[in-house]
Amino acid sequence: MSVAPHRRRLLRGRGSRIYVELLLDALLEYVEVPLVACARDGCVTHVNSHAHELLRCKRLVGTGPGVWVAALRPRTATGLPMPLEDLPPLRALDGEHVRRVPILVSLRGRDLLLEVGATPLIDSRMRRRGALVSLSVLSGAPT
């Protein structure tokens, strides 16, 4: 897909990062699915309102894998600790499209079984820039 020259100038402009951030925020809110976006280092960059409502974790944005793993304590559906390399966001950061992985997390002292998917975010030059993670509740939704 080609980008018109005037749009290329806009995207290269001083405010382009702000524009892209606002556009991403709007797109994530438009989709009525809990979504989390992270940068190529695994640091959380965006959490839409649906994910925030589900996870109810304060200050996830700006945290790296060490922080969000400690906060959520991801485990297999049987309760075994999940190795970092098996977590869908980190697999997506390695280029894998991940679908429907059951993950048990701890939220405010209560277990919640989620189905997690993740996909790499790839720019126009085919470079991995981050990952987009989708969440859905399988059981144990917090009240």
CA 135 to chain CA mean position, Å: 9
| Same domain as 43, residue 8 | no
Number of domains in the chain: 2
| Same domain as 26, residue 57 | no
pLDDT at 6: 54
SS3 state of residue 1: coil
pLDDT at 73: 93
| Same domain as 17, residue 55 | no
| Same domain as 126, residue 107 | yes
| Same domain as 109, residue 91 | yes
| Same domain as 90, residue 20 | no
Report whether 61 contacts 45 (CB < 8 A). Answer: yes
Number of neighbours of residue 111 by Cβ within 10 angstroms: 14
| Same domain as 15, residue 55 | no
Q: Name the strands in the sheet holding 35-39, side by side, starting at the edge strand that comes first in the sequence.
A: 44-47, 35-39, 128-139, 110-122, 98-107
| Same domain as 128, residue 60 | yes
| Same domain as 17, residue 75 | no
| Same domain as 100, residue 61 | yes
Range of the domain at 125: 33-139
pLDDT at 7: 54
| Same domain as 56, residue 1 | no
CATH number of the domain where residue 124 is located: 3.30.450.20
| Same domain as 101, residue 37 | yes
Tens-binned pLDDT, residue by residue, of the chain (143 aa): 455 555 555 555 545 666 666 666 666 676 789 999 999 999 999 899 899 888 887 678 888 999 999 989 999 999 999 999 999 999 999 999 999 999 999 887 889 999 999 999 988 888 889 999 999 998 765 44
